[in-house]
Amino acid sequence: MYGALWRVLPGPVWARILILLVLLAAVLFLLSTWVFPWVDEMLTPSQPVTVNP
């Protein structure tokens, strides 16, 4: 899979590395912005947990 991705990207090696870094940053941004909060809503209980001392 990584070899196929490497062959599909245009340009010299330095440009391919730069493109991959930008793509990785975009994927991490999308995960932390939309996917992880959505999963957190699914995993957390619907009622708030309170502790009375």
pLDDT of 23 reads 93
Domain ranges of the chain: 2-36
Q: What is the pLDDT of residue 28?
A: 96
Q: Residue 42: its pLDDT value, please?
A: 84
pLDDT of residue 52: 81
Distance of alpha carbon 27 from alpha carbon 40, whole angstroms: 18
- For the four alpha carbons of 9, 32, 42 and 40, in that order, the dihedral sign comes to positive
The per-residue pLDDT for 47 is 73
| pLDDT digit string, tens, across residues 3-53 | 888 899 999 999 999 999 999 999 999 999 999 998 888 887 777 777 887
pLDDT at 32: 94
Per-residue tokens: 28: 């991490």
Question: Is residue 22 within 8 Å of residue 11, measured between CB atoms?
Answer: no
